[in-house]
Structure 1
């Protein structure tokens, strides 16, 4: 009997490509973060859509300098073979000061094809 419910997993059970992106983004290492994405990947963040690694690179550079904040991974789960959700708690000098964000990853061929970041 198959259990199709989403599974909660520790961060070390997220695919390497997702942990590579998350670690590089936290370290403000845009070049390494970009290696996690397909060339035609899409990122949706704060109501804006960024298509392709050029636009994603600009978004990464801007997002690491716009505000100062800490990020803590609070949950991670696999929803199916190509979809993962990582929940992060952010605290910083952005409007509101704290937020819990869902990072919804879609993978293709071992890389991130789509990332949607939303509360």
Structure 2
């Protein structure tokens, strides 16, 4: 699967809604972007289902203070997108570029993998 660079405006609405809600620490809106059986993998841990994902979002929002800047967006196909964010903050290392790999199903996020 060859990914093609796109503008952030070309991302699906559900991805944009999740990203904006995540940055705003709006857990209720962010969780609504996921399928009921979604999975998220972040920092080596996997969270399955909306309840576990909601707990992860709440923890992520309170653990560190950081800024985030969307630096790249790619489309692999109609259901797979990659968004790169540059983060700076008080987490270990202080600076990181994270790739958010989205798999969509029925207009919602079925899987999200976050890794450098």
TM-score scaled by length of structure 2: 0.98
Measure the CA separation in 2 of the matches of 1:79 and 1:99: 23
Based on CA coordinates, which of the two structures has the bigger radius of gyration?
1
Instruction: Note the C-alpha offset of 1:27.
Output: 0.4
TM-score normalised by the chain length of structure 1: 0.95
Q: Distance in 1 between matches of 2:68 and 2:19?
A: 10
Report the Cα offset of residue 68 of structure 1. 0.2
**Equivalent residues in 2 for 1:8-27 (5 A)?**
8-27=5-24
Choose the corresponding residue for 2:103, options 101, 106, 116: 106
Question: Equivalent residue for 1:79?
Answer: 76
1:93 shift after superposition: 0.2
Q: 2: distance between equivalents of 1:42 and 1:109?
A: 15
Aligned length: 116
> Structure 2: which 5+ runs fail to align?
none
Q: Secondary structure at the match of 1:58?
A: helix
